[in-house]
Amino acid sequence: MGILKPDYRFNSILEISVPFLKEKGIEGLLLDVDNTLAHHFSQTPIEGLEKWLKEIAAAGIKTLILSNARSSRVEPFAEKIGVAYTPKAMKPLPFRAWSSCREMGVKSKNTAIIGDQLFTDMLCGSLSGTTKILVTPMHEETGRLFKIKRGLERKILK
* Binding interface with Mg ion (CB under 5 A): 32, 34-35, 116
Quote the least distance from Cβ 141 to Mg ion, whole Å: 9
Based on the number of CB atoms within 10 Å of its own CB, is 149 exposed (0-12), middle (13-18) or buried (19 or more)?
A: middle
DSSP letters, 70-130, are: -HHHHHHHHHHHT-EEE-S--TTSSHHHHHHHHHHT--GGGEEEEES-IIIIIHHHHHHT-
Give the nearest distance from C-beta 152 to Mg ion in angstroms: 15
Q: Decide whether 59 or 141 has the Cβ nearer to Mg ion.
A: 141
Q: Which residues contact 3 (CB under 8 A, 6 or more apart)?
A: 122, 123, 126, 127
Least Å distance, CB 1 to Mg ion, is 19
Smaller CB distance to Mg ion: residue 102 or 139? 139
Amino acid present at 13: I
Nearer to Mg ion, 35 or 128 (CB): 35
Residue 138 φ/ψ, nearest 5 degrees: -70, -25
Rank residues 32 and 153 by Cβ distance to Mg ion and give the closer one: 32
Which of 40, 107 has the CB closer to Mg ion? 40
Q: State the nearest-atom distance from the C-beta of 67 to Mg ion, in Å.
A: 8
CA distance linking residue 131 with residue 151, whole number of Å: 24
Query: What CA dihedral angle connects 30, 9, 43 and 104, to 10 degrees?
Result: -10
For the bound state, the minimum distance from the C-beta of residue 107 to Mg ion, rounded and expressed in Å, comes to 24
